[in-house]
Amino acid sequence: MDKYERERYQKKKERALRRRKRQQRQLIIMISIVLLLVLILILLLVLRKKKVFAREESQYLAEIPVYYSLIDAREVSKDEVGAAIQGYYDRQFYSRFKVGGAYLTDQNDNVLYEKDAHARIYPASTTKLMTTVLALERTSDLDALITVKELYGCYDDPESMLLYLEEGDQISMRDLLYALLTESYNDCACAIAMEVAGSIEAFADLMNQRAAELGMNDTHYMNPHGLYDPDHYTSAYDLNRLVRKVYTLDVFRELEQTYSRTITIYRWGEPMELTIDNSSFFLNGDYAVPGLKFEGGKTGYIDESLSSYGSVFTGNGNTYYCAILHSVDGPYMTNLLLDYILAPDAMKELLEMDPYLALWYENYDY
Protein backbone atom coordinates (compact mmCIF):
# COMPACT_ATOMS: atom_id res chain seq x y z
CA MET A 1 0.00 0.00 0.00
CA ASP A 2 1.63 3.20 -1.12
CA LYS A 3 1.47 6.55 0.57
CA TYR A 4 -1.60 7.78 -1.33
CA GLU A 5 -3.57 4.61 -0.70
CA ARG A 6 -2.79 4.85 3.02
CA GLU A 7 -4.05 8.45 3.07
CA ARG A 8 -7.26 7.49 1.25
CA TYR A 9 -7.81 4.59 3.62
CA GLN A 10 -7.15 6.79 6.65
CA LYS A 11 -9.61 9.44 5.43
CA LYS A 12 -12.22 6.78 4.71
CA LYS A 13 -11.74 5.38 8.20
CA GLU A 14 -12.08 8.82 9.75
CA ARG A 15 -15.30 9.49 7.80
CA ALA A 16 -16.75 6.18 8.96
CA LEU A 17 -15.79 7.02 12.55
CA ARG A 18 -17.42 10.46 12.32
CA ARG A 19 -20.57 8.86 10.82
CA ARG A 20 -20.77 6.37 13.70
CA LYS A 21 -20.33 9.12 16.26
CA ARG A 22 -23.03 11.20 14.54
CA GLN A 23 -25.41 8.23 14.54
CA GLN A 24 -24.64 7.62 18.21
CA ARG A 25 -25.39 11.26 19.05
CA GLN A 26 -28.66 11.09 17.11
CA LEU A 27 -29.62 7.91 18.94
CA ILE A 28 -28.81 9.47 22.30
CA ILE A 29 -30.88 12.55 21.40
CA MET A 30 -33.84 10.41 20.31
CA ILE A 31 -33.67 8.33 23.49
CA SER A 32 -33.46 11.51 25.54
CA ILE A 33 -36.50 12.97 23.78
CA VAL A 34 -38.50 9.78 24.34
CA LEU A 35 -37.53 9.71 28.02
CA LEU A 36 -38.42 13.37 28.36
CA LEU A 37 -41.83 12.77 26.75
CA VAL A 38 -42.44 9.83 29.08
CA LEU A 39 -41.54 11.97 32.07
CA ILE A 40 -43.83 14.74 30.87
CA LEU A 41 -46.66 12.25 30.39
CA ILE A 42 -46.15 10.83 33.87
CA LEU A 43 -46.10 14.36 35.29
CA LEU A 44 -49.33 15.23 33.49
CA LEU A 45 -51.01 12.09 34.79
CA VAL A 46 -49.94 12.99 38.30
CA LEU A 47 -51.14 16.56 37.92
CA ARG A 48 -54.44 15.32 36.50
CA LYS A 49 -55.19 13.59 39.77
CA LYS A 50 -53.78 16.36 41.91
CA LYS A 51 -56.18 18.77 43.62
CA VAL A 52 -55.09 22.03 42.12
CA PHE A 53 -57.49 24.20 44.06
CA ALA A 54 -56.65 25.20 47.59
CA ARG A 55 -58.38 24.02 50.79
CA GLU A 56 -62.11 23.30 50.57
CA GLU A 57 -62.36 24.09 46.85
CA SER A 58 -60.63 20.77 46.22
CA GLN A 59 -63.31 18.90 48.16
CA TYR A 60 -66.01 20.88 46.37
CA LEU A 61 -64.75 19.70 42.99
CA ALA A 62 -63.77 16.18 44.01
CA GLU A 63 -67.06 14.61 42.96
CA ILE A 64 -66.98 16.07 39.45
CA PRO A 65 -65.08 14.06 36.82
CA VAL A 66 -61.92 15.83 35.71
CA TYR A 67 -60.65 15.25 32.19
CA TYR A 68 -58.11 18.02 31.70
CA SER A 69 -56.09 20.17 34.09
CA LEU A 70 -55.41 23.42 32.31
CA ILE A 71 -55.20 25.94 35.12
CA ASP A 72 -52.26 26.44 37.43
CA ALA A 73 -52.80 26.08 41.15
CA ARG A 74 -54.24 29.31 42.53
CA GLU A 75 -56.58 30.66 45.17
CA VAL A 76 -60.22 30.95 44.07
CA SER A 77 -63.41 31.27 46.05
CA LYS A 78 -65.99 28.52 46.24
CA ASP A 79 -68.62 30.88 44.82
CA GLU A 80 -66.41 31.72 41.86
CA VAL A 81 -65.90 28.05 41.09
CA GLY A 82 -69.62 27.27 41.40
CA ALA A 83 -70.71 30.22 39.28
CA ALA A 84 -68.18 29.45 36.57
CA ILE A 85 -69.14 25.81 36.37
CA GLN A 86 -72.87 26.52 36.31
CA GLY A 87 -72.41 29.21 33.69
CA TYR A 88 -70.52 26.81 31.50
CA TYR A 89 -73.18 24.10 31.84
CA ASP A 90 -75.87 26.67 31.09
CA ARG A 91 -74.17 27.60 27.84
CA GLN A 92 -73.75 23.93 26.93
CA PHE A 93 -77.44 23.24 27.57
CA TYR A 94 -78.75 26.18 25.60
CA SER A 95 -76.42 25.46 22.70
CA ARG A 96 -77.97 22.01 22.38
CA PHE A 97 -81.58 22.56 23.42
CA LYS A 98 -83.16 23.65 20.13
CA VAL A 99 -86.97 23.45 20.19
CA GLY A 100 -89.89 25.41 18.82
CA GLY A 101 -91.71 25.20 22.14
CA ALA A 102 -91.23 23.57 25.55
CA TYR A 103 -93.20 23.46 28.79
CA LEU A 104 -92.26 21.50 31.93
CA THR A 105 -94.39 21.42 35.10
CA ASP A 106 -94.69 19.38 38.28
CA GLN A 107 -97.73 17.86 39.96
CA ASN A 108 -98.57 21.16 41.63
CA ASP A 109 -98.49 22.88 38.23
CA ASN A 110 -95.34 24.78 39.11
CA VAL A 111 -93.57 25.83 35.90
CA LEU A 112 -90.04 24.43 35.93
CA TYR A 113 -89.16 25.51 32.41
CA GLU A 114 -90.85 27.16 29.45
CA LYS A 115 -89.82 28.37 26.04
CA ASP A 116 -92.26 29.82 23.50
CA ALA A 117 -94.94 27.85 25.32
CA HIS A 118 -97.84 29.40 23.39
CA ALA A 119 -96.34 29.27 19.89
CA ARG A 120 -98.74 27.42 17.60
CA ILE A 121 -97.03 24.41 16.04
CA TYR A 122 -98.21 21.35 14.14
CA PRO A 123 -98.48 18.56 16.75
CA ALA A 124 -98.06 15.51 14.46
CA SER A 125 -98.86 12.23 16.23
CA THR A 126 -98.96 13.75 19.71
CA THR A 127 -102.52 14.41 18.48
CA LYS A 128 -103.22 10.77 19.31
CA LEU A 129 -103.14 11.61 23.01
CA MET A 130 -106.41 13.49 22.55
CA THR A 131 -107.76 10.58 20.50
CA THR A 132 -106.87 8.34 23.45
CA VAL A 133 -108.61 10.61 25.95
CA LEU A 134 -111.86 10.58 23.98
CA ALA A 135 -111.69 6.83 23.33
CA LEU A 136 -111.24 6.06 27.03
CA GLU A 137 -113.87 8.55 28.17
CA ARG A 138 -116.50 7.35 25.67
CA THR A 139 -116.00 3.57 25.60
CA SER A 140 -117.74 1.51 28.28
CA ASP A 141 -116.15 -1.86 27.46
CA LEU A 142 -112.64 -1.69 26.04
CA ASP A 143 -112.49 -5.42 25.39
CA ALA A 144 -115.71 -5.69 23.37
CA LEU A 145 -115.14 -6.16 19.66
CA ILE A 146 -115.95 -3.24 17.38
CA THR A 147 -116.48 -3.48 13.65
CA VAL A 148 -114.20 -1.30 11.55
CA LYS A 149 -116.12 1.04 9.26
CA GLU A 150 -114.94 2.35 5.92
CA LEU A 151 -111.86 4.41 6.71
CA TYR A 152 -110.69 7.60 5.05
CA GLY A 153 -108.28 10.44 5.72
CA CYS A 154 -105.43 8.24 6.92
CA TYR A 155 -103.84 7.43 3.57
CA ASP A 156 -102.99 11.00 2.52
CA ASP A 157 -99.28 10.67 3.28
CA PRO A 158 -97.34 7.90 1.47
CA GLU A 159 -95.28 7.42 4.64
CA SER A 160 -98.37 7.16 6.86
CA MET A 161 -98.02 4.44 9.51
CA LEU A 162 -100.76 1.85 8.94
CA LEU A 163 -101.95 -1.39 10.49
CA TYR A 164 -103.84 -1.94 7.21
CA LEU A 165 -107.25 -2.44 8.78
CA GLU A 166 -110.05 -3.24 6.36
CA GLU A 167 -113.74 -2.43 6.47
CA GLY A 168 -115.52 -5.21 8.35
CA ASP A 169 -112.52 -6.18 10.51
CA GLN A 170 -113.29 -6.69 14.19
CA ILE A 171 -110.90 -5.63 16.96
CA SER A 172 -111.18 -4.48 20.57
CA MET A 173 -110.76 -0.83 21.53
CA ARG A 174 -107.97 -1.86 23.92
CA ASP A 175 -105.98 -3.41 21.09
CA LEU A 176 -106.62 -0.39 18.90
CA LEU A 177 -105.31 1.91 21.61
CA TYR A 178 -102.17 -0.15 22.17
CA ALA A 179 -101.39 -0.12 18.45
CA LEU A 180 -102.18 3.59 18.36
CA LEU A 181 -99.90 4.56 21.23
CA THR A 182 -96.93 2.27 20.53
CA GLU A 183 -96.70 2.12 16.74
CA SER A 184 -98.75 5.23 15.96
CA TYR A 185 -100.93 3.60 13.30
CA ASN A 186 -103.04 6.25 11.62
CA ASP A 187 -105.79 3.87 10.48
CA CYS A 188 -106.23 2.87 14.14
CA ALA A 189 -106.86 6.54 14.94
CA CYS A 190 -109.48 6.72 12.20
CA ALA A 191 -111.11 3.48 13.33
CA ILE A 192 -111.41 4.92 16.85
CA ALA A 193 -112.82 8.19 15.53
CA MET A 194 -115.42 6.40 13.40
CA GLU A 195 -116.47 4.19 16.30
CA VAL A 196 -116.77 7.06 18.79
CA ALA A 197 -118.30 9.76 16.59
CA GLY A 198 -119.37 8.18 13.30
CA SER A 199 -117.09 10.34 11.13
CA ILE A 200 -113.67 12.00 11.16
CA GLU A 201 -115.25 15.45 11.07
CA ALA A 202 -117.58 14.76 13.99
CA PHE A 203 -114.69 13.34 16.01
CA ALA A 204 -112.58 16.44 15.29
CA ASP A 205 -115.43 18.54 16.69
CA LEU A 206 -115.35 16.44 19.87
CA MET A 207 -111.56 16.89 20.05
CA ASN A 208 -111.86 20.67 19.84
CA GLN A 209 -114.66 20.70 22.41
CA ARG A 210 -112.56 18.64 24.84
CA ALA A 211 -109.51 20.82 24.19
CA ALA A 212 -111.50 23.91 25.13
CA GLU A 213 -112.65 22.19 28.34
CA LEU A 214 -109.02 21.46 29.23
CA GLY A 215 -107.99 25.09 28.66
CA MET A 216 -106.07 24.32 25.48
CA ASN A 217 -106.71 27.70 23.87
CA ASP A 218 -103.88 27.48 21.32
CA THR A 219 -105.14 24.21 19.84
CA HIS A 220 -107.31 23.28 16.89
CA TYR A 221 -107.73 19.74 15.57
CA MET A 222 -108.74 18.64 12.10
CA ASN A 223 -108.17 14.89 12.41
CA PRO A 224 -107.51 12.14 15.01
CA HIS A 225 -103.98 11.20 13.91
CA GLY A 226 -101.96 14.36 13.25
CA LEU A 227 -101.22 14.15 9.54
CA TYR A 228 -100.49 17.64 8.26
CA ASP A 229 -103.29 20.16 7.88
CA PRO A 230 -102.64 23.93 8.03
CA ASP A 231 -105.53 24.30 10.50
CA HIS A 232 -104.29 21.53 12.78
CA TYR A 233 -102.04 22.95 15.53
CA THR A 234 -101.28 23.09 19.23
CA SER A 235 -98.72 24.63 21.61
CA ALA A 236 -96.29 23.29 24.19
CA TYR A 237 -98.50 24.71 26.94
CA ASP A 238 -101.56 22.93 25.53
CA LEU A 239 -99.70 19.65 24.98
CA ASN A 240 -98.66 19.82 28.63
CA ARG A 241 -102.35 20.23 29.60
CA LEU A 242 -103.22 17.21 27.47
CA VAL A 243 -100.46 15.07 28.97
CA ARG A 244 -101.69 15.94 32.47
CA LYS A 245 -105.18 14.79 31.53
CA VAL A 246 -104.29 11.53 29.78
CA TYR A 247 -102.08 10.52 32.71
CA THR A 248 -105.12 10.48 35.00
CA LEU A 249 -106.57 7.60 32.94
CA ASP A 250 -105.54 4.20 34.33
CA VAL A 251 -105.67 2.38 30.99
CA PHE A 252 -103.25 4.85 29.42
CA ARG A 253 -100.68 4.17 32.14
CA GLU A 254 -101.23 0.42 31.81
CA LEU A 255 -100.72 0.40 28.05
CA GLU A 256 -97.71 2.68 28.21
CA GLN A 257 -95.97 0.33 30.65
CA THR A 258 -96.64 -2.76 28.50
CA TYR A 259 -93.48 -3.86 26.69
CA SER A 260 -95.20 -6.19 24.25
CA ARG A 261 -98.78 -7.13 23.43
CA THR A 262 -100.35 -9.56 20.97
CA ILE A 263 -103.41 -7.97 19.39
CA THR A 264 -106.09 -9.89 17.54
CA ILE A 265 -107.91 -8.81 14.38
CA TYR A 266 -110.86 -10.88 13.16
CA ARG A 267 -111.13 -10.80 9.37
CA TRP A 268 -114.00 -12.74 7.83
CA GLY A 269 -114.41 -14.43 11.18
CA GLU A 270 -110.83 -15.73 11.27
CA PRO A 271 -108.47 -14.45 13.98
CA MET A 272 -105.17 -12.86 12.95
CA GLU A 273 -102.65 -12.28 15.71
CA LEU A 274 -99.97 -9.61 15.57
CA THR A 275 -97.37 -9.00 18.28
CA ILE A 276 -96.51 -5.32 18.76
CA ASP A 277 -93.54 -4.18 20.84
CA ASN A 278 -93.48 -0.89 22.69
CA SER A 279 -90.84 1.24 20.97
CA SER A 280 -90.63 3.94 23.67
CA PHE A 281 -87.05 5.17 24.05
CA PHE A 282 -87.50 5.66 27.80
CA LEU A 283 -89.33 2.39 28.51
CA ASN A 284 -86.66 0.45 26.62
CA GLY A 285 -83.84 2.26 28.40
CA ASP A 286 -82.36 4.05 25.39
CA TYR A 287 -82.89 7.28 27.32
CA ALA A 288 -83.09 7.66 31.10
CA VAL A 289 -83.14 10.36 33.76
CA PRO A 290 -81.56 9.34 37.12
CA GLY A 291 -84.17 9.18 39.87
CA LEU A 292 -87.15 9.40 37.53
CA LYS A 293 -89.46 6.70 36.23
CA PHE A 294 -91.01 7.00 32.79
CA GLU A 295 -94.79 6.72 33.05
CA GLY A 296 -95.88 7.33 29.48
CA GLY A 297 -95.61 9.53 26.42
CA LYS A 298 -96.27 9.97 22.74
CA THR A 299 -93.92 10.95 19.97
CA GLY A 300 -94.84 12.74 16.77
CA TYR A 301 -93.07 13.61 13.54
CA ILE A 302 -93.99 15.42 10.34
CA ASP A 303 -91.71 17.32 8.00
CA GLU A 304 -93.44 20.62 8.77
CA SER A 305 -92.66 20.52 12.51
CA LEU A 306 -90.06 17.75 12.87
CA SER A 307 -90.06 15.79 16.15
CA SER A 308 -92.36 16.40 19.13
CA TYR A 309 -92.92 14.58 22.41
CA GLY A 310 -95.39 14.72 25.30
CA SER A 311 -94.41 12.67 28.35
CA VAL A 312 -94.88 11.99 32.08
CA PHE A 313 -92.29 11.02 34.69
CA THR A 314 -92.46 10.35 38.43
CA GLY A 315 -89.75 10.55 41.08
CA ASN A 316 -88.64 12.42 44.19
CA GLY A 317 -92.24 12.28 45.42
CA ASN A 318 -93.39 14.33 42.43
CA THR A 319 -94.87 13.95 38.96
CA TYR A 320 -93.42 15.83 36.00
CA TYR A 321 -95.19 16.68 32.76
CA CYS A 322 -93.07 17.62 29.76
CA ALA A 323 -94.05 18.90 26.32
CA ILE A 324 -91.56 19.38 23.48
CA LEU A 325 -92.54 20.67 20.02
CA HIS A 326 -90.51 21.10 16.82
CA SER A 327 -87.07 19.60 17.49
CA VAL A 328 -84.69 17.24 15.77
CA ASP A 329 -85.36 14.58 18.43
CA GLY A 330 -88.20 15.05 20.92
CA PRO A 331 -87.22 12.25 23.35
CA TYR A 332 -83.57 13.38 23.43
CA MET A 333 -84.57 17.00 24.07
CA THR A 334 -86.85 15.75 26.84
CA ASN A 335 -83.95 13.81 28.36
CA LEU A 336 -81.65 16.83 28.10
CA LEU A 337 -84.21 19.19 29.67
CA LEU A 338 -85.05 16.86 32.57
CA ASP A 339 -81.35 16.28 33.24
CA TYR A 340 -80.70 20.02 33.21
CA ILE A 341 -83.57 20.83 35.59
CA LEU A 342 -83.83 17.73 37.78
CA ALA A 343 -80.58 15.74 37.43
CA PRO A 344 -77.78 18.23 36.67
CA ASP A 345 -75.04 15.79 37.68
CA ALA A 346 -76.23 13.41 34.99
CA MET A 347 -76.17 16.20 32.44
CA LYS A 348 -72.63 17.13 33.43
CA GLU A 349 -71.53 13.55 32.98
CA LEU A 350 -73.43 13.33 29.71
CA LEU A 351 -71.69 16.39 28.32
CA GLU A 352 -68.30 15.35 29.75
CA MET A 353 -67.62 18.79 31.10
CA ASP A 354 -64.56 19.77 33.09
CA PRO A 355 -64.72 22.31 35.95
CA TYR A 356 -61.16 23.41 35.31
CA LEU A 357 -62.03 24.02 31.69
CA ALA A 358 -65.06 25.99 32.84
CA LEU A 359 -62.87 28.34 34.86
CA TRP A 360 -60.47 28.62 31.96
CA TYR A 361 -63.31 29.72 29.68
CA GLU A 362 -64.60 32.16 32.27
CA ASN A 363 -61.28 33.88 32.88
CA TYR A 364 -59.55 33.74 29.52
CA ASP A 365 -60.38 34.54 25.95
CA TYR A 366 -61.40 31.60 23.84
Residue 185 CA to residue 84 CA, distance in Å, equals 48
Query: Nearest to residue 323, comparing CAs of 232, 178, 219, 191?
Result: 219
Residue 187 CA to residue 193 CA, distance in Å, equals 10
Which regions of 21-156 does DSSP assign to beta strands (E)?
101-106, 111-115, 145-147
In angstroms, the Cα distances linking 75 to 22, 60, 62, 86, 243 are 49, 14, 16, 19, 49
Helix, strand, coil percentages for the chain (3-state, nearest 5): 45, 20, 35
Q: Which pairs from 327-332 meet CB under 8 Å and 24+ separation?
A: 327/98, 327/99, 327/100, 328/98, 330/299, 330/300, 330/301, 331/281, 331/282, 331/286, 331/287, 331/297, 331/299, 331/307, 332/287
Query: Nearest to residue 55, comparing CAs of 79, 78, 31?
Result: 78
Active-site residue identified among 3, 13, 115, 125: 125
Give the three-state DSSP class for 105: strand
Cβ-contact 297, 256 below 8 angstroms: yes
Active-site residue identified among 51, 69, 78, 128: 128
Catalytic residue list contains 128: yes
Catalytic residue list contains 125: yes
Cβ-contact 179, 185 below 8 angstroms: yes
Cβ-contact 182, 277 below 8 angstroms: yes
DSSP line for 198-242: SSHHHHHHHHHHHHHHTT-TT-B-SSSS----TT-BB-HHHHHHH
Residue 296 CA to residue 232 CA, distance in Å, equals 23
Catalytic residue list contains 305: no
Active-site residue identified among 172, 184, 280, 308: 184
Kindly report the backbone phi and psi dihedral angles of residue 321, in degrees, each rounded to the nearest multiple of 5, phi listed first.
-120, 125
Positions marked catalytic: 125, 128, 184
